[in-house]
Each structure stands twice: as structure tokens, then as C-alpha cells.
Amino acid sequence: MSVTTFPRRRLAQGLAVGALSLGLLGSAFASGIQVTEAWIRWLPANLPAGGYAKVTNDTDKEVKLVGASSPKYGMVMLHQTVNKNGMSNMVHVDAIPIAPHKSMAFTPGDYHIMLMQPKPGIEPGQKVPVTLKFSDGQSVTTEFEVRKPTASGPGDDMKGMDMGHMKGMQH
């Protein structure tokens, strides 16, 4: 019996290691761009959601973030919230440059990934893949954690009870 179980275990371990290295190759580490602290502020009733993350450029060159997409949303754009004359507005952003060895953060009230036309069934607690696209053609896909409307950051549902964020469609 032990003769048959031993190779099986070896095989399972080999598969696990293989999957891990494949995962690393397919994500941030291969390109030198890392996407961390990724989360989505989910809103009910098919409202657009705001996506937030930290994007770190670990390469020696400037990278430009030029777009985003997700299989769970029909339309995804890069937005920035700007305050002008006491009014808060969202504007579309064509490109966000990130200097070598610097990072930028999508945060509520500033840059955000606008996730529109949600597919049915997206709920807080799930993870949703979002792909960020860069001007040199590379893209990085990250699992974004879907959080409740009251969340103010990754892994944080209790703070940020400022319901003013939910007025209209501001993100």
C-alpha cells in the first residue's frame, strides 16, 4: 500500500509546486509590476462599483496604466474624483504614469477603477478578477476582494461608515 501512496503524494506535491510557479509567472512578479491591497466597494442594484488597489512598479522604467477590464463587469474605466468649486466629480483618465520603483494607490475619493455593468451574482465576500493594462502591452490580473459599501479599505468592513460615499454614484 505504501508503495502506491508514496508516488501519489509526490505527484500531488509536484502539481502544487507547478501550479504555484505558474501562478507567479502569470501575475505581477514576472513583469515587475505588483498589484496589492485590491478590493472593490460593492454597491447594490447594479450600481457601478469602485475598485481600489496599490500598484507598484518594481522595474527600472516608467510604466503607464492605460486601462482595466474584468469578466464580471461589462465596462471598466480608470476614473479620478476631482473637487472643483466644492463639487465632487469623476473624470475619465486615459493614462496613469508610475515612475520606476514607485507605486500609486487607487483610493476612495481619488483615482479609482470604475466597474460598470456588473454581471448578476456579485456579492460582498467574493473575489473578482480585474486585469490592469499597461502601455507596453503587458497586463496584470489580480483577484479583487468584494467588500460591503461601508468598507473603507481591504479587509475592513467596520470602519468608514461615512454613507456620504453612497450618495449618487460617487466613488
Residues in touch with Cu ion (CB under 5 A): 79, 90, 114, 171
Whether the CB-CB separation of 98 and 109 falls below 8 Å is answered with no
Burial class (CB in 10 A: 0-12, 13-18, 19+), 111: buried
Closest CB to Cu ion among 28 and 76?
76
CB 57 → Cu ion: shortest distance, Å?
23
CB 59 → Cu ion: shortest distance, Å?
28
CB 91 → Cu ion: shortest distance, Å?
9
Closest CB to Cu ion among 114 and 130?
114
Closest CB to Cu ion among 59 and 88?
88
Residue nearest to Cu ion (CB): 79
Residue 43 CA to residue 1 CA, distance in Å, equals 54
The length of the chain, given as a count of residues: 171
Closest CB to Cu ion among 8 and 84?
84
Strand 139-147 with 33-41, pairing: parallel
Biggest CA-to-CA distance, the chain: 77
DSSP 108: T
CB 149 → Cu ion: shortest distance, Å?
15
